[in-house]
Structure 1
Amino acid sequence: MEYTMLKPCQEISKTGVIYEKGNLYAYFHNLSDPRHAKGKRYSLVTLLVIIFLGKLAGKDHPVEIADWAKNHRDELSKLLRVERPWTPSHSTIRRVFNEILDEAEFDRLVQAYHQEEGLDGDEILAMDGKTLRGTHRGGEAQGKHLLGVYAVNTQRVLAQEEVDTKENEITAAPRLLAKVDIEGKIVTGDALHTQKKTSQHIILAGGDYLLPVKENHPRMYADIKRLFAETDRSSA
């Protein structure tokens, strides 16, 4: 398949981010495929593009993605230059993430893809956490929880960090921010991230932060409240 190295995010519109198919292929092509050539019906690149397009179409489960691919077989064959008259089964799609794909390698590739274009000087970076659906296993208190940093202006998730079940987002935040160039940027987050270690990391990296302060930081909360009260009196 031929491809061109265009910018990963060509524009932002009401329909969201526009991805250039060739550029996605170029990045996916860098992933290692541990499978033996014998018996391999589809390249890892082809499988990942099909999964990616299926996800964009709102299909989350392997069965849904496989059905979507089957219903769009002609378009996918032309797009990906697949000569086979059939599309991957749901078991093949499931094996991509359960057995074939190196998760850490894939995370690094996605981060590089979204950070390739660079960020505007006035970009705001928002930290936010989420627990992934369908990742809760028996005996675990919660499913897989990720803390991500999101570029607000360009609508891109720049990096993610898994939060271990024995820790929380506070300890994961410095590791996450170390993956992103935050120099000259403003980092935001919820009150959970109003922590000395996190704010020091941001300042030392050349960034600024805007974090809410609640009453669980009584001294800081009182100082800020007093400062604004004095400002109100002086302006009255």
Structure 2
Amino acid sequence: MKVNLLEALTQVPDFRAARGRRYPLWLLLLLVIMGTLSDCLGYRALEDFCRRHHEALVTTLQLPPTRFPSDSTFRRVMMGIDFTDLANIFNNWVYSSLPQGEQDWLGVDGKSIKATVSNYDQAYQDFINVVSVFSAQKGVPIALQQFHNKQGSEIAVVQNLLATLDLEGVVFTLDSLHCQKKLYS
């Protein structure tokens, strides 16, 4: 069953207290996605994006003509949201939206996220990594998963993602980390 992005974003659990909610969570997440696609990569840039496109957003999304969120609202939401829930909902939405059964090339890679390091003064630091599966044919990521490097490994996360996708007839490109005999024998 195909689900559009707005329907998918309404499934993200709202962690905020009911008192004081001015904006629905789906709207905040949609604005973050739209702003990020427009190269607005900071909280102030997201606020500027909303201010710049206020009229078009109100018209297109059929919203009441009120103020849009401030940079601090975006920050609180992005700091408090459960990334695992959001990534699962995103993965399900992308996977249901893409045509299945076509031959494709999928690039799989993990990257560490800047400014997420903790225990910086110790030999083995902890930071957050994100593994993505990118479809070369469609030009979009079709799966994402995050992990802390102290609690997991990229190898295990990639195996889990590929098992979850259950794809056949595709070619995977992975870096040398995943070229181990014991993994694929």
1:56 is aligned to 2:37: yes
Instruction: Kindly report which structure 2 residues correspond to 1:138-177, keeping only aligned pairs within 5 A, or say none.
Output: 139=120, 141=125, 143-166=127-150, 167-177=152-162
Question: Which structure has the higher relative contact order (CA within 8 Å, separation 6+)?
Answer: 2
Q: 1:170 to 1:32 in 2, by over 3 A?
A: closer
1:86 to 63, 67, 71: 67
Which amino acid counterpart does residue 67 of structure 1 have in structure 2? D
2:93 to 110, 113, 123: 113
Q: For residue 117 of structure 2, give the secondary structure of its aligned residue in structure 1.
A: coil
Q: For residue 87 of structure 2, give the secondary structure of its aligned residue in structure 1.
A: helix
Q: 1:136 to 1:120 in 2, by over 3 A?
A: same
Residue ranges of structure 2 left out of the alignment (5+ in a row): none
Instruction: Kindly report which structure 2 residues correspond to 1:206-225, keeping only aligned pairs within 5 A, or say none.
Output: none
The separation in 2 between residues aligned to 1:93 and 1:84, in whole angstroms, is: 19
Is residue 46–residue 80 contact of structure 1 (8 Å, CA) maintained in 2? no
Instruction: Quote the RMSD (CA, aligned, Å).
Output: 2.3
The separation in 2 between residues aligned to 1:102 and 1:161, in whole angstroms, is: 12
The separation in 2 between residues aligned to 1:58 and 1:138, in whole angstroms, is: 31
Q: For residue 178 of structure 1, give the secondary structure of its aligned residue in structure 2.
A: helix
Q: For residue 166 of structure 2, give the secondary structure of its aligned residue in structure 1.
A: coil
Deviation at 1:61, TM superposition (A): 0.9
The separation in 2 between residues aligned to 1:70 and 1:136, in whole angstroms, is: 33
Q: For residue 141 of structure 2, give the secondary structure of its aligned residue in structure 1.
A: strand
The separation in 1 between residues aligned to 2:99 and 2:181, in whole angstroms, is: 28
1:135 is aligned to 2:135: no
The separation in 2 between residues aligned to 1:92 and 1:33, in whole angstroms, is: 14
Deviation at 1:39, TM superposition (A): 2.1
Deviation at 1:91, TM superposition (A): 0.8
Q: 1:72 to 1:138 in 2, by over 3 A?
A: farther
The separation in 2 between residues aligned to 1:97 and 1:152, in whole angstroms, is: 28
Q: Deviations over 1:34-79 (max 9, x none)?
A: 3344321111111111111110110111111011111211111112
The separation in 1 between residues aligned to 2:85 and 2:183, in whole angstroms, is: 26
Deviation at 1:150, TM superposition (A): 1.5
1:188 is aligned to 2:173: yes
The separation in 2 between residues aligned to 1:85 and 1:79, in whole angstroms, is: 14
Q: For residue 69 of structure 2, give the secondary structure of its aligned residue in structure 1.
A: coil
Q: For residue 179 of structure 1, give the secondary structure of its aligned residue in structure 2.
A: helix
Q: 1:94 to 1:32 in 2, by over 3 A?
A: same
The separation in 2 between residues aligned to 1:51 and 1:64, in whole angstroms, is: 10
**Aligned sequence identity (%):** 28
